Amino acid sequence: MTWPKKYGGQERSFLDRYVVTEEFRVANAPVRAHFTADRQSGPVLLKYAADEIKKDVLPRITRGECCFCIGMSEPNSGSDLFAASTKATKTDEGWRVNGTKLWTSNAHHADYMIGLFRTSPSTEENHRHGLTNFLVDITLPGISISPVHNMAGLHEFNEVVFDDCLVPNNHVLGEINGAWKQATSELAYERSGPERFLETFYILTEMVRTLGTEPDNRSAEGIGRLVAQAHTLRRMSVSVNGMLQAGMEPVLEGAIVKDMGTVWEQALPRKARDLTAFTDIGNRTNFDRLLRYAIHIAPKLTIQGGTTEVLRSIIARGLGLR
Amino acid sequence: MTETDDIIIDTTARIFSELGDPQTLNNACDDTWQQPLWTALADSGLTRAWVPEDQGGAGAEITDGFDILVTAGRYAVAVPLAETLLAGWLLAKAGIMMPDGPLSVAMGNADNPFRINSNGSLSGTAKVVPFAGDVDHFTVLTDKGVALVKASDCNIETGVSMAGDAMSDVTFDGVTPSTVAVVPGGFGIKDLMLMGAAIRSAQMAGGLQAILDLAVDYAKERVAFGRPISKFQAVQHNLARLGGETAVAVAAAGSAADAIANAEGANAQQFDQAVFLEVAAAKIRTGEAVGDGTAIAHQTFGAIGFTSEHVLQRHTRRLWAWRDDYGSESEWAVRLGEMIATNGADELWPLLASR
């Protein structure tokens, strides 16, 4: 929605996009396949890709014809992103990539990956040095994808193995060895969106329905606190997005919103379970089905996109403690 | 933020840092600091911020008043500034001239409001009136409108709040108010409670900012096990949580203040559901933040923060007192939950998204 018209975008504001994202989340709409490209990959391409690539790929994203996955985590590199060891070696034909990415959500549906590869060793002074972002066509020879089923029985995760995969020279995104410089501004977008507190919101709506129009004090208090918390998180998230619209880089604020938002959306199914424990009026089959699903997926909410521990360290740095 | 906002915040901060510094007040062996602090606040017009100029006030914006309250909260305000602002706002609504001197508001409750007797006198007892022993007048919302009552005509019990500030029950034993006037448009105790809760939320937001600053500075100075405790990840993460709770409180209180300012700007005679959501959420969420935030601040300071001579308790005890005033988190949560349930599940998201 926010992208330039020449690449198929609408040039709408971030807040317009915010509203649409919110409504998708509240409706629990199946948007995951295209959301990665819209939120993260597209903006990276807009900023760092060569113009011929932008002209080729971005319009296809806006038409809903191509999906992206994120090639960051590895078996030995999760929160410690800068420990990534999948290697890209410069050759005459392009870059040769070897190594393994793990926990790659939706790689099995994706057309492209934005992969973070090691192009030189880190240095004593800067352990973040030496990594480069690449646009990778996932259908290239030398890439194999295997499923990793999650504990909810779903196939989202994948292991992506690169075996001498050749990536063209013009697929480098941004500065070679300098991917770390690109990270900070993107993180604020990734961390402050409505998806960071609304992922289990349907549980709150359905809990209110299940508890009925005349709740006892215990139920009413439970609803009231959860609604107050949700409302406040939303006001914070909207405000961070307003800062982004104004061209600021609210990295600290984004970390706070994601920390508080994901802890809240993770606790919501448990609290809803407590509050509905004595309720068996009406037909709660639908609620129980949703609750079971939400409890299953809850653990991931404070892990994906930056763990609680990493976020609190960022906040501590913002407070001048590190 | 406009230039006027900055001037108001700077003026408030300057008066408090010169005459109401929490550490200085904590060291004082008597209350001779009260009069100079109050005089400076009154002379600057801050105490009359919410009274229009033609009624003897400063005619400031609603948001300016909330800025004053957040700043006063940062300095653990121990004079009836918030109460006088609220009383002035209420008197202005009834078109009553605001008297000089500090005021407080005696609240009844929705089921049993104060009544004006046929002879024009007022009877009844108001529970836990903030700064009751320190003020010249009370404003009382009665069934016949707003009444202004001289404090010297009332029976005031001696008592203190959790913070050690004056707070007591006030009995109006056939007292004749100096003025009674109706607020037009069905304004009631629910609207007054909303304003009171928004005021306390603003003070709590300021108070949390103060204890965050204190705890962060102390963690950088205090050395244990051979290094500043700020270098321990466990301490960093505690303080990150305090930072998060403070950000939540500031956001919640600010959003409620904006909602009230918009309603007042539109000359709404009663507050609607959206304002109710905003203020209830602010009082609930700032109250919750006070619970978690004060625990972390005290944990950071260890034993020294638990002493009466240390400044931390000057802030935390007031935060606990403010959390109780004009409805606790639980009381507001029950009312908000009932409203949401009555509206029905499908109205929940549209209400949140309308803000």
How does pLDDT run across B109-136, given as a tens digit for each residue? 777 789 999 999 999 999 999 999 999 9
Structure tokens at B161: 């709040």
- Residues B37, B176: one domain? yes
Query: Is residue A283 within 8 angstroms of chain B, CB to CB?
Result: no
Among residues B322, B339, B198, which one has the least CA distance to residue B255? B198
Q: What is the pLDDT of residues B207-240, one digit of tens each?
A: 999 999 999 999 999 999 999 999 999 999 999 9
Among the candidates B163, B181, B199, a domain finishes at B181
Q: What is the pLDDT of residue A188?
A: 65
Kind plus residue range of the DSSP H or E element containing B106? strand B103-106
Query: Is residue A72 within 8 angstroms of chain B, CB to CB?
Result: no
- Residues B156, B217: one domain? no
Among residues B291, B203, B216, B257, which one has the least CA distance to residue B16? B203
Which sequence spans correspond to the domains of chain A? Answer: 5-62, 68-177, 182-318
Euclidean distance between CA atoms B100 and B102, whole angstroms: 7
CB contacts, 8 Å: A230 with chain B: 352
Query: Is residue B244 within 8 angstroms of chain A, CB to CB?
Result: yes
CB contacts, 8 Å: A253 with chain B: 247
- The region of weakest confidence among A307-311, B107-111, B145-149, B294-298 is B107-111
Q: Which residues contact B354 (CB under 8 A, 6 or more apart)?
A: B274
Q: What is the pLDDT of residue B1?
A: 52
Query: Is residue B354 within 8 angstroms of chain A, CB to CB?
Result: no
Query: Is residue B286 within 8 angstroms of chain A, CB to CB?
Result: no
Q: How confident is the model at residue B58 (pLDDT cuts 50, 70, 90)?
A: very high
Among the candidates B157, B181, B205, a domain finishes at B181
CB contacts, 8 Å: A223 with chain B: 333, 336-337, 340-341
* CATH architecture of the domain formed by A182-318: Up-down Bundle (1.20)
Query: Is residue A11 within 8 angstroms of chain B, CB to CB?
Result: no
Q: What is the DSSP letter of A107?
A: T
Query: What chain A residue is nearest to B237 in terms of C-alpha separation?
Result: A312
| % of chain B residues with pLDDT over 70 | 99
- Residues B105, B206: one domain? no
Residue in this structure with the two tokens 């056939």, named with its chain if needed: B174
Q: How confident is the model at residue B61 (pLDDT cuts 50, 70, 90)?
A: very high
- Do residues B184 and B265 make contact, with C-beta atoms less than 8 angstroms apart? no
Among residues A214, A241, A231, A226, which one has the least CA distance to residue B279? A231
CB contacts, 8 Å: A322 with chain B: 230-231, 236
Contact B337 A229 (CB under 8 A): no
CATH number (domain holding residue B75) = 1.10.540.10
- Does the pLDDT of residue B325 top 80, yes or no? yes
Indicate the Cα dihedral angle B191, B193, B194, B199, nearest 10°.
Answer: 130
Q: What is the pLDDT of residues B11-26, one digit of tens each?
A: 999 999 999 999 999 9
Decide: residue B112, CB within 10 A, 0-12 exposed, 13-18 middle, 19+ buried.
exposed
Among residues B103, B139, B2, which one has the least CA distance to residue B61? B2
Q: What is the pLDDT of residues B157-167, one digit of tens each?
A: 999 999 999 99
- Residues B121, B269: one domain? no
Among B233, B275, B348, B351, most A C-beta atoms within 10 A, so best to mutate, is B348
pLDDT, mean of residues B172-198:
94
Distance (Å) from the C-alpha of residue A226 to the closest C-alpha of chain B?
Answer: 9
Kind of pairing between the strands at A131-137 and A112-118:
antiparallel
E-only strand ranges, A91-240: 95-101, 112-118, 131-137, 143-149, 155-167, 172-173
Range of the domain at B172: 3-181
Beta bridge partner(s), residue A166 = A96
- Residues B12, B75: one domain? yes
Query: Is residue B291 within 8 angstroms of chain A, CB to CB?
Result: no
Q: What is the pLDDT of residue A281?
A: 63
Query: Is residue B337 within 8 angstroms of chain A, CB to CB?
Result: yes
Distance (Å) from the C-alpha of residue B326 to the closest C-alpha of chain A?
Answer: 17
Distance (Å) from the C-alpha of residue B190 to the closest C-alpha of chain A?
Answer: 17
- Residues B273, B195: one domain? yes
Contact B341 A222 (CB under 8 A): no
Contact A22 B353 (CB under 8 A): yes
For chain A, 322 residues long, give each residue's pLDDT as a single digit of tens.
Answer: 999 999 999 999 988 999 999 999 998 888 888 888 998 899 899 999 999 999 999 999 999 999 999 999 999 988 888 899 999 999 999 999 999 999 999 999 999 999 999 999 999 999 899 999 999 999 999 999 999 999 988 899 999 999 999 999 999 999 999 998 886 656 666 777 888 999 999 999 999 999 999 999 999 999 999 999 999 999 999 998 888 888 888 888 999 999 999 999 999 999 999 999 988 766 688 899 999 999 999 999 999 888 999 999 999 999 999 8
Distance (Å) from the C-alpha of residue A148 to the closest C-alpha of chain B?
Answer: 32
- Decide if the complex's ipTM is over 0.90: yes
DSSP codes joined into one string, A260-288: HHHHHHHHHHHHHHHHTTT---S--HHHH
User: In the Cβ-directed half-sphere of A32, how many Cα atoms lie within 13 Å?
Assistant: 13
Q: What is the pLDDT of residue B80?
A: 98
Distance (Å) from the C-alpha of residue B142 to the closest C-alpha of chain A?
Answer: 29
- Residues B173, B277: one domain? no
By residue count, chain B amounts to 355
Query: Is residue A198 within 8 angstroms of chain B, CB to CB?
Result: no
Q: What is the pLDDT of residues B80-90, one digit of tens each?
A: 999 999 999 99
Distance (Å) from the C-alpha of residue A293 to the closest C-alpha of chain B?
Answer: 20
A98 phi and psi, to 5 degrees? Answer: -140, 135
- Residues B31, B12: one domain? yes
pLDDT, mean of residues B252-270:
94
Amino acid of residue A191: R
CB contacts, 8 Å: B230 with chain A: 321-322
CATH number (domain holding residue B253) = 1.20.140.10
- Does the pLDDT of residue B274 top 70, yes or no? yes
- Does the pLDDT of residue B3 top 90, yes or no? no
Among residues B168, B16, B177, which one has the least CA distance to residue B81? B16
Structure tokens at A278: 């004595």
Among the candidates B181, B214, B244, a domain finishes at B181
Query: What chain B residue is nearest to A209 in terms of C-alpha separation?
Result: B345
Other C-beta atoms within 10 Å of B59: how many?
A: 16
Kind plus residue range of the DSSP H or E element containing A322? none
Kind of pairing between the strands at B103-106 and B137-142:
parallel
Residue in this structure with the two tokens 């508001």, named with its chain if needed: B105
Q: What is the pLDDT of residue A184?
A: 61
Task: Give the C-alpha distances (Å, rounded to integers) separating A137 from A77, A113, A114.
Answer: 22, 7, 9
- Residues B17, B145: one domain? yes
Name the residue facing B352 among A221, A234, A319 (closest C-beta).
Answer: A234
- Do residues A249 and A183 make contact, with C-beta atoms less than 8 angstroms apart? no
By residue count, chain A amounts to 322
Provide the terminal-to-terminal Cα distance of chain A, rounded to the nearest Å.
Answer: 38
> Average per-residue pLDDT in chain B?
95
Contact B348 A227 (CB under 8 A): yes
- Does the pLDDT of residue B344 top 60, yes or no? yes
- Residues B253, B336: one domain? yes
Task: Give the C-alpha distances (Å, rounded to integers) separating A168 from A89, A94, A271, A303.
Answer: 12, 5, 51, 33
- Does the pLDDT of residue B75 top 80, yes or no? yes
- Does the pLDDT of residue B38 top 60, yes or no? yes
How many residue contacts between A and B have a Cβ separation below 8 Å? 153
- Residues B91, B194: one domain? no
SS3 A106: coil
Residue in this structure with the two tokens 């919640």, named with its chain if needed: B252
Euclidean distance between CA atoms A201 and A199, whole angstroms: 6
Name the residue facing A205 among B230, B255, B348 (closest C-beta).
Answer: B348
- Residues B308, B234: one domain? yes
Instruction: Report the domain count for chain B.
Output: 2
Euclidean distance between CA atoms B335 and A223, whole angstroms: 10
- Helices in chain B by DSSP H: which ranges? 3-19, 22-27, 34-43, 62-74, 81-94, 189-221, 233-265, 273-301, 312-324, 329-343, 348-353
Euclidean distance between CA atoms B240 and B212, whole angstroms: 10
Q: What is the pLDDT of residue B2?
A: 63
Q: What is the pLDDT of residue A251?
A: 85
Structure tokens at B85: 């602002």
Residue in this structure with the two tokens 């403010």, named with its chain if needed: B322
| % of chain B residues with pLDDT over 90 | 92
Among residues A245, A305, A70, which one has the least CA distance to residue A314? A305
Note the CATH number of domain A68-177. 2.40.110.10
Mark residue A225 as left, alpha or beta (left: phi above 0; alpha: psi -120 to 50; beta: remaining): alpha
